Amino acid sequence: MNVDAKQHFANLAVAVAQKRDQTAFAALFDFFAPRLKSFLMRQNMPAMEAEELAQEVMVVLWQKAHLYDSSKSSLSTWLFRIARNRRIDAARRMRNRTLDETDPSLMPAAPAAPDALVESGDREQIVRAAMEKLPEEQVTLIRMAFFFGQSHSEISAATGIPLGTVKSRIRLAFGKLKKLLEEDGVDSA
């Protein structure tokens, strides 16, 4: 690459950095993306992965063109160094992806014992019966928080109830539930 071409690409990178110039970026993309892909494929990277990584490098150019310093290197050297480093990072990630088939977290959970299922079903019925004894406004808040997974802030926004009131009503409902469950002989811990 001659000196004029190097300066031209450096100027385009400056335009991208300072003005987010899409035309300059398109010219850089058209020139460098295929070359980066070829470079990566010569490094034994499959074509699809090489293309993705080349595009990723060009995104880095778009987002971080302000970091390029033409006094330290040519734009091509900067981009190819980024591509090389990303390729190395990708290879490391692939190496670390090997699965340990004996890892307990990958093993399916043991099926629940029949007596545990019955006990769980009984407990569920007792909790449902206790919830029926609560005021409807408290039941609604408990459902929103624990069955629908909404935060207290989300519940407040959805219902128009002040956040402190939402928290108080949920805390009050839990106190009542605990008392009702203890009366039924259920461990609430």
pLDDT tens-digit readout, 92-123: 877 766 666 676 766 777 676 766 666 666 77
What is the arithmetic mean of pLDDT over 74-91? 90
- pLDDT band at 2; cut points 50, 70, 90: confident
Residues 169-181: tens digit of each pLDDT: 889 988 888 888 8
Q: Under a CB-based contact definition with an 8 Å cutoff, are residues 163 and 129 in contact?
A: no
Long-range CB pairs of 69-72, under 8 A, 24+ apart, other chains included: 70/7, 70/10, 70/13, 70/14
Do the Cβ atoms of 36 and 27 come closer than 8 Å?
no
Task: Taking each helix axis as running N to C, give the angle between helix 163-183 and helix 152-159, from 0 to 180 degrees, rounded to the nearest 10.
Answer: 110
- pTM score > 0.85 for this model? no
Domains of the chain: 3-96 (1.10.1740.10), 114-183 (1.10.10.10)
Position 165: which residue type?
Answer: T
Give residue 1's pLDDT band: very low, low, confident or very high (50, 70, 90). low
Quote the CA–CA distance of 25 and 59 in Å, as a whole number: 10
